């Protein structure tokens, strides 16, 4: 029966009913990520107190009964009656569009900076909880309000010590809303640790009653500590860069380091709230790239005929932490994963440019090292591009038949049995191999990190994975339409051997295992006929006092070298790739 669209189809939802019916609009999702977002909303309210000079510690407890308890020692929510007739405490968590952070720009709200301005976060958590108990302590009085699924349940008050102040929130996530109400304890600890780096001097006390865990998170050096944490197991190639700059109500804090890897890590925040991207990153990249190019030309590291280095050239091995503070930031969506305020670009670019002038004077040696790494990155990128273009041009007439992957840099020998396919991690590693290879017999094919595990995946998922399809294409094998497996034919192989060129670290070992599993599951003959090899890069490099290099395969070899050269002076570097 056809459904009619009539006047009765139009309905109005209560504010909290709307949140419960469409939680994704407010917390991003109903899975564990959305659950963790609820916790982050409440913690962020306590952090706002710290940002405005109140509060020295935050307590987070995962209770045995499933409750999540968060308490701070900030100023506390003011006592009094709201214009609706209820208490201000009840209004803050139970009435739409009510809060104390709407007038930040004038300073009348008592918050110069904060992560929340929409008056929505705490109320969303309230709506999505079977029970929420909120307490405020201030001026010798304690108020307690209880809610259930956003609805008011009870209110009480009592006299307390006048020196006590702060807010506590206890909530029980609703299992009818969330896919799971079990918090990932380790993931939450990671979040808290991240907050501790951003809030230098603020103590976070974490307790997991179910797993009997009690830990304190505190950072004395802030972003310096964070930078070293993100760089664990790697070596910095130069001294780190750190600066803070402010103008009017805008402030940036930046920590920046470079290691010997090819990947980058970017951590972005606005008023301590994390984002994946935004205008603040755009502003920093513009200032950073422009300043480095000007420096490189001034120091003759770039010649007049050379093009400027690009932003991507400076990303290899980069670890960037940027915390931008401003009044009334504008985000895309309630989950605040992208900053869209135009001030993010203009002020971050302006303040970064100002700070770098002084840094470039005092850290000239470090800046030169960063530029040298970027020049090498560009060299590898351009070499890879030229090699691809050369192969495409040579094989232009045959390309429609071979249908080879575009990132494959092929060998040109007609004796394909002598040719080797080198599979490596990423474009940067490919650039190095392309420069060092014998182009007659060695082809290079970069993959994007860890490929799909064929052992745990369906055929549909396997053959929709572009990396796997490209590897089979590169080998030159046809695929049986019925079995959905490559048809083994040694005469059709485009390469006599396949060499897995992965990094000398745990991630590299994992990628190698995934590749071997793929060959074994899809085309075991490649392995059984002895055509798959593994390159073994050295994990350590010794620099002797004569400036000579000695490469060692693993930790055992390093220990043997140390035993055999006691008393000698040398440097040890842990290689990446």
Return the active site residues: 425, 503, 505, 507
Dihedral, CA of residue 251, residue 255, residue 261 and residue 267, to nearest 10:
-50
Residue ranges of alpha helices (H) inside 313-363 are 342-362
Regarding beta strands 497-501 and 420-425, do their DSSP bridges make them parallel or antiparallel, or are they unpaired?
A: parallel
DSSP 8-state symbol, 105:
G
**Spatial distance between the Cα atoms of 100 and 76, rounded to a whole number of angstroms:** 12
Task: Please list the residues that pair with 62 across neighbouring strands.
Answer: 68, 208
**Measured distance CA(217)–CA(58) in Å, rounded:** 10
Q: Which residues, listed in sequence order, are joined to residue 275 by a DSSP beta bridge?
A: 268
Alpha-carbon gap, residue 137 to 126, rounded angstroms: 20
- For tokens 């009044």, name the residue: 327
Residue at token pair 């035993």: 563
User: 236: which DSSP letter?
Assistant: B
For the beta carbon of residue 211, count every other beta carbon within 10 angstroms: 9
Taking the CA of residue 365 as centre, how many other CA atoms within 13 Å lie in the half-sphere pointing to its CB? 4
CA angle (426, 505, 457) in 5-degree steps: 65
d(C-alpha 178, C-alpha 107), whole Å? 38
Using CA atoms, how far apart are residues 256 and 466, in angstroms rounded to an integer? Answer: 34
CB atoms within 10 A of CB 570: 14
Q: Are 179 and 126 in contact (CB under 8 A)?
A: no
- Which residues, 6 or more positions from 565, have their beta carbon under 8 angstroms from its beta carbon? none
Long-range contacts of 453-457 (CB under 8 A, 24+ apart): 453/514, 453/517, 454/514, 454/517, 454/518, 454/521, 454/522, 455/517, 455/521
| Spatial distance between the Cα atoms of 543 and 477, rounded to a whole number of angstroms | 45
CA 315-319-321 angle, to 5 degrees, is: 120
Spatial contact of 18 and 170, defined as CB atoms under 8 Å apart: no
Tell whether the torsion through CA atoms of 435, 291, 286 and 114 is positive or negative.
positive
Asked whether 539 and 506 are in contact (CB, 8 A), the reply is no
Angle, helix 279-298 to helix 342-362, in steps of 10 degrees: 30
Say if CB 500 and CB 513 are below 8 A apart: no
Rounded-to-integer distance, Cα 116 and Cα 469, Å: 46
DSSP characters over 11-43 = ----HHHHHHH-THHHHS-SSHHHHHHHHHHHH
Helices of type H across 65-214: 88-94, 121-127, 185-198
């Amino acid at each position: 029966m056809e459904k009619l669209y009539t006047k009765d189809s139009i309905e109005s939802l209560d504010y909290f009913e709307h949140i419960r019916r469409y939680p994704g609009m407010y917390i991003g999702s109903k899975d564990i990520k959305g659950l963790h977002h609820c916790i982050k909303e409440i913690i962020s309210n306590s952090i706002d107190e710290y940002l405005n000079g109140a509060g020295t510690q935050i307590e987070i407890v995962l209770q045995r009964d499933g409750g999540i308890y968060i308490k701070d020692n900030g100023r506390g929510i003011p006592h009094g009656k709201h214009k609706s007739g209820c208490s201000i405490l009840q209004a803050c968590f139970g009435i739409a569009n009510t809060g104390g952070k709407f007038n930040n720009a004038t300073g009348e709200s008592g918050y110069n900076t904060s992560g929340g301005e929409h008056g929505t976060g705490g109320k969303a958590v309230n709506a999505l909880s079977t029970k929420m108990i909120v307490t405020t302590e201030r001026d010798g009085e304690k108020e307690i309000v209880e809610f259930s699924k956003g609805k008011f349940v009870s209110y009480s008050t009592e006299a307390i010590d006048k020196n006590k102040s702060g807010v506590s929130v206890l909530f029980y996530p609703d299992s009818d809303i969330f896919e799971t109400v079990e918090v990932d304890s380790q993931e939450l600890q990671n979040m808290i640790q991240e907050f501790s780096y951003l809030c230098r001097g603020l103590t976070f006390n974490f307790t997991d009653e179910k797993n009997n865990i009690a830990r304190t998170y505190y950072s004395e050096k802030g972003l310096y500590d964070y930078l070293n944490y993100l760089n664990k197991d790697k070596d910095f190639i130069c001294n780190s860069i750190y600066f803070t700059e402010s103008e009017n109500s805008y402030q940036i804090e930046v920590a920046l380091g470079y290691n010997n890897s090819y990947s980058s890590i970017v951590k972005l925040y606005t008023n301590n709230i994390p984002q994946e991207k935004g205008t603040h990153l755009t502003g920093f990249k513009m200032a950073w790239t422009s300043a480095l190019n000007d420096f490189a030309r001034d120091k003759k590291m770039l010649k007049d005929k050379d093009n400027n280095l690009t932003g991507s050239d400076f990303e290899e091995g980069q670890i960037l932490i940027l915390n931008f503070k401003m009044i009334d930031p504008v985000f895309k969506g309630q989950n605040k994963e992208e900053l869209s305020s135009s001030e993010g670009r203009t002020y971050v670019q302006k303040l970064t440019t100002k700070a770098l002038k002084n840094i470039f004077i005092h850290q000239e040696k470090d800046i030169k090292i960063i530029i040298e790494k970027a020049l090498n990155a560009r060299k590898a990128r351009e070499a890879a591009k030229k090699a691809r273009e050369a192969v495409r041009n040579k094989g232009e007439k045959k390309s429609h038949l071979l249908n080879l992957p575009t990132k494959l840099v092929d060998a040109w020998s007609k004796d394909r049995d002598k040719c080797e396919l080198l599979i490596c991690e990423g474009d940067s590693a490919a650039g190095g191999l392309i420069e060092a290879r014998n182009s007659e017999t060695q082809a290079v094919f970069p993959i994007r990190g860890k490929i799909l595990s064929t052992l745990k995946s369906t055929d549909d998922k396997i053959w929709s994975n572009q990396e796997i399809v490209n590897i089979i294409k590169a080998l030159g094998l046809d695929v049986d339409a019925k079995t959905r497996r490559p048809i083994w034919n040694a005469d059709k192989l485009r390469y006599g051997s396949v060499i897995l060129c992965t990094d000398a670290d745990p991630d590299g070992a994992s990628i190698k295992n995934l590749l071997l599993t793929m060959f074994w599951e899809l085309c075991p003959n490649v392995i059984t006929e002895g055509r798959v090899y593994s390159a073994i890069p050295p994990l350590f490099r010794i620099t002797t006092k004569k400036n000579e290099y000695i490469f060692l395969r693993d930790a055992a070899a390093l220990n043997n070298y140390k035993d055999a050269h006691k008393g000698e002076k040398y440097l040890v570097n842990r290689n990446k790739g």
